[in-house]
Amino acid sequence: MKNWRTSCVLSLAAILPAGAAGAERAPVLVELFTSEGCSSCPPADRLLEKLDAAAVVLSEHVTYWDHEGWRDRFSLDEVTIRQQGYAQRFHLDSPYTPEMVINGAVEFNGSDGRRAVAEIGKALDHAKAVPHLAWVDRGVEVQIDGAHKGDQVFLALADDSASTAVTGGENKGNQLHHVAVCREIRRAGRVGLGGAFNQSIKLPPPARRERVVVWTQSGEAGAVAGAALLAPDQVEATAAPLAGRD
């Protein structure tokens, strides 16, 4: 993990002051529970965009702000349920936004950049598995070694980026920008004997600018052993011939 840690620390040191982009991402899952209806969330959304250079990030939009003057078009019931699981895990009185969760192990205010950098660094000492992803006929091949037997394997489809001109609610009049916007989360299976997982997962033909994110997790809201993604440039390089097949 030393190479990953060095790469991550250097990338984070670069991106937090200046917003520089990194070429590789550490196998750490950074989840941001957010909403376009929450006035405290835009700073956290901007932080996640910076962290995107160094880790595997996922912007997860909850539904409970949708009744406060603005319906977030990215909000998902499954995301709200997922966050409720974390609230129970971390013994919180209730879910809140913006909330950042690092590798399913720690949660904090999603706008806290210093805490985010520190926790990503700590997570590298505990991550054990790095999923390897590749496009195959009508889907994605997922290979994982070094995970924990019985852990869940999750797959998320996410828009690479998105912008919204908000016309109601607490962010009325603001143009909001997001990265890695979760549009679907599914359970792909479980890690087998020896901590291995090897499976082809059927997916619809990928849309342009779409990410595929995969991670292993203990239960529904436990520790994450590792994460990886297929970025849009990787998707688009292989998707065109696949999408044209019968």
pLDDT at 81: 98
Q: Prior bond to 98 cis, omega within 30?
A: yes
pLDDT at 101: 98
Give start and end residues of each alpha helix (H) in 19-164. Answer: 42-51, 77-89, 113-123
Tell me how far apart the alpha carbons of residues 4 and 231 are, in angstroms, rounded to a whole number: 18
Of 66, 56, 190, the residue nearest 124 (C-alpha): 56
Residues 164-180 have pLDDT tens digits of: 999 999 999 999 999 99
Res 21 pLDDT > 60: no
Tell me how far apart the alpha carbons of residues 16 and 4 are, in angstroms, rounded to a whole number: 18
Least confident of 2-16, 20-34, 83-97, 210-224: 2-16
Q: What mean pLDDT is predicted for residues 232-239?
A: 61
Token pair 């020896």 in the structure block, residue: 194
- The amino acid sitting at 78 is E
pLDDT at 204: 77
User: Which band of pLDDT confidence, cut at 50, 70 and 90, is reported for residue 237?
Assistant: low
pLDDT at 23: 45
195 forms beta bridges with none
Token pair 């479980």 in the structure block, residue: 190
3-state helix, strand, coil in the chain (%, to 5): 30, 35, 35
Identify the DSSP state of 204.
Answer: P
pLDDT at 8: 52
Q: pTM for the complete prediction?
A: 0.88
HSE toward the beta carbon, residue 126, CA cutoff 13 A: 17
The arrangement of strands across the sheet holding 139-144 comes to: 132-136, 139-144, 197-202
Residues 47-77 have pLDDT tens digits of: 999 999 999 999 999 999 999 999 999 999 9
Tell me how far apart the alpha carbons of residues 159 and 76 are, in angstroms, rounded to a whole number: 14
How far apart are the two ends of the chain, measured CA to CA in Å? 42
Identify the DSSP state of 114.
Answer: H
Res 162 pLDDT > 90: yes
Res 207 pLDDT > 80: no
Residues 126-146 have pLDDT tens digits of: 878 889 999 887 789 999 998
pLDDT at 24: 72
Instruction: Give yes or no for a contact between 168 and 69, defined as CB atoms under 8 angstroms apart.
Output: yes
User: Which band of pLDDT confidence, cut at 50, 70 and 90, is reported for residue 149?
Assistant: very high
Domains and CATH numbers, the chain: 2-243 (2.60.40.10)
- The residue among 23 and 150 whose pLDDT is bigger is 150
